[in-house]
Amino acid sequence: MRTTAFHLVTRKETPQDAEIISHQLMIRTGMIRKLGAGLYTWAPLGMRVLQKVEQIIREEMNAAGGLEMLMPAVQPKELWQETGRIDDFGGQLLAIHDRAMRDYFFGPTHEEVITDFVRNEINSYKQLPINFYQIQTKFRDEIRPRFGVMRSREFIMKDAYSFHLSQESLEHTYQSMKQAYTQIIDRIGLDFRCVLADSGAIGGSGSQEFHVIADSGEDAIMYSDSGEYAANLEKCEAVNLIATRKDAAQALNKVSTPGQKTIDELSEFLGVTSDQTIKTLLVEGTEKPVALVIRGDHNLNEIKAVNLTAVASPLRMLNDEEIKSLTGCDAGSIGVKGLNATIIVDRTVANMSDFICGANENDFHLTGVNWDRDADFDSVEDLRDAMEGDPSPDGVGVLREARGIEVGHIFQLGNKYSTAMNAVVLNEQGKSQAMEMGCYGMGVTRMVAAAIEQNHDDKGIIWPANIAPFQVAILPMNYLKSERVKRAADELYESLNAQGVEVILDDRKVRPGFMMSDFELLGIPHQVIIGDRSLDENQVEYRNRSDMESIKISRDTIESMLVEKIRA
């Protein structure tokens, strides 16, 4: 490709509304352009990268036995009524209608469509197991799209769905998908972790996420510093930090704490550390209000909370009025003694003794509070976020925290959809049986952004070799005036092309500094600078984008050297 025949429009300045580096660089290189909130055009440059990622995914999915297909992006509302998932997805569903006012959704995911397909196509256990996938545009009407294609509304996803007669078969395919995902991200060249995850609106039993490690990641992931355990913070088990509850040493005492509302204010006022206090959080319950109790220095894990049967979904904190009428005090003075609510305590809280909590009376707190003697709870659950330094739940090592970008998520769905939609097969006994199902998603467009988050410097992108839009850039100095330079550049360009190397030759009429800055921004892995200066010695100059060190190479060997580096 010659730049004059390509569409290359770079910007020197950082766009004003791009907050994270991948978004900035994708705009500056011209890979993408914004059309509206969460809507992006992929220009030819970006498209080349996108297609590389898609191709790697395709190859690994095919190798793992996946069968590629394509389903409609637009889905009849009736399908979603069959599974009752309209409420689960809520406002994220983009509702549309046709001229006859029939209702449709633009698909955010395709469990319903594939299950409908399969219930009509698959009738016998002999056709199982089977694993279908597609690479397709989805739309999720995010509350707040941001970070460019990292969290856009319209995006491209690879989604796969497997069907099985037995749980064992499902687990087998699940493991092979896990392996395929690992190989995909390895081939793309990114540093990632596979972590335990909550299955959220998709549902089902087991699920794991694949996170590309990056400081800008929207998810917190916890991992053992010396073991195998790794989980999304949402899902990470938080262990009991107090082995056994000590006997009460203090008498119950009501103290005046005027104006002390937050845990930090309270513990400073009383001269204690926050781990001697507890927080009582009042939320809407399925039957009556629920008090979720965690230690003062801990954070409530909303996913864990909302998964409790006593807690209403979605999670809603009681408002000031409700708190006042239930406890007689304002938020800031709520405590567990004499509280008229279902009291659920975190594991660590259950073993606390001589602790401090609100007195259910404004400007008063209780110290020396002890379970059984002063207050009771209804049940003990894992309610809090795990923290860095906690023992790992599997007993090996200590937890560390990292930020991750979720690029893949695999689920064992069981028969949730097949039962709801009556997707059954005849088994070996000739009996009708609901199929077991798995689903496996991967964010293709997000993967591109994640790759940039992990591979850039202050000059621009540093593409991993396997997804670079071009492998080699030929940068001729004074191409339009120097016949010698032009000939050398054209020759190398033609012969690399002939060997199937993806090469871009910059034949624009631009000054050298401009050209070199542009290709540093674009991040092409191998760059060859051809100028009269080095041609005098029958040499050209080679630079690798990752270190940018200039090496003089003989004209006779540059081509074979490049081919060797690319094939390596």
Rounded least distance, CB 237 to RNA, Å:
17
Task: Please spell the DSSP secondary structure of 74-98, one letter per residue.
Answer: EEEHHHHHHHT-HHHHGGGSEEEE-
Q: Which is nearer to RNA, 173 or 327 (CB)?
A: 327
Q: Which residue's CB is nearer to RNA, number 81 or number 550?
A: 550
Q: What dihedral do alpha carbons 322, 327, 331, 335 form, nearest 10°?
A: -140
Please, what sign has the CA dihedral across residues 50, 55, 61, 64?
A: negative
Which spans in 167-307 are helix H? 167-188, 263-270, 302-306
Which residue, 187 or 456, is less far from RNA as judged by CB?
456
Which amino acid would we find at residue 463? W
Closest of 296, 299, 300, 321 to residue 311, by C-alpha: 300
- Taking the least distance from each CB to RNA, the nearer of 252 and 420 is 252
* β-bridge partners, 132: 67, 161
Q: Residue holding tokens 């992929």?
A: 42
- With a CB cutoff of 8 Å and minimum separation 6, the contacts of 374 are 252, 337, 366
- State the burial class of residue 330 (Cβ atoms within 10 Å of its Cβ: 0-12, 13-18, 19+): middle
Rounded to a whole number of angstroms, the minimum distance from the CB of residue 264 to RNA is 7
Shortest approach of RNA to residue 545 CB, angstroms?
Answer: 11
Helix (H) or strand (E) segment spanning residue 509: none
Minimum distance, C-beta of residue 391 to RNA, in the bound complex (Å):
21
Kindly tell me which of 62 and 340 has the beta carbon lying closer to RNA: 340
CB nearer to RNA: pick between 204 and 531: 531
Nearer to RNA, 99 or 509 (CB): 509
CB 62, min distance to RNA, A = 36
DSSP state of 277: B
Looking at the Cβ atoms of 15 and 76, the one nearer to RNA is 15
CB of 48 to RNA, least distance (A): 19
**Minimum CB–partner distance for residue 430 and RNA (Å):** 52
Least Å from the CB of residue 474 to RNA = 12
Fill in the amino acid letter for 398. V
Q: How far is the CB of 433 from RNA (least distance, A)?
A: 42
Residues 88/130, Cβ–Cβ less than 8 Å: no
| Minimum CB distance to RNA smaller for 90 or for 395 | 90
Question: Smallest gap, in angstroms, from Cβ of residue 263 to RNA?
Answer: 3
DSSP 8-state secondary structure symbol assigned to residue 187: H
SS3 456: strand
- Which residue, 305 or 402, has its beta carbon nearer to RNA? 305
- Cβ neighbours of residue 48 closer than 8 Å, sequence gap 6 or more: 469, 470
Cα 515 to Cα 511: distance, rounded to the nearest angstrom: 6
C-alpha distances (whole Å) from 35 to each of 18, 92, 149, 343 are 14, 19, 12, 49
Q: How far is CA 168 from each of CA 24, 196, 538, rounded to the nearest angstrom?
A: 46, 20, 64
Nearer to RNA, 17 or 215 (CB): 17
**Min CB(27)–RNA separation in Å:** 9
CB-CB contact of 284 with 295 (8 Å): no
Please state, in angstroms and as integers, the Cα–Cα distance from residue 391 to each residue in 236, 263, 301, 566, following that order. Answer: 12, 24, 17, 45
Name the residue nearer to RNA (CB basis): 119 or 295. Answer: 295
Say how far apart CA 127 and CA 430 lie, in whole Å: 14
Q: Site residues (CB under 7 A) for RNA?
A: 10-13, 15-17, 19, 34, 36-38, 143-146, 261-264, 266, 278-282, 296, 299-300, 302, 317-318, 323, 330-335, 357-358, 385, 459, 477-478, 480-481, 511-514, 516-518, 520-521, 529-534, 541, 543, 548, 550
Tokens of 530: 């051809």
Cβ of residue 14: shortest distance to RNA, in angstroms? 9
Cβ of residue 203: shortest distance to RNA, in angstroms?
A: 23
7: left (phi over 0), alpha (psi -120 to 50) or beta: beta
Nearer CB in complex with RNA: 145/441: 145
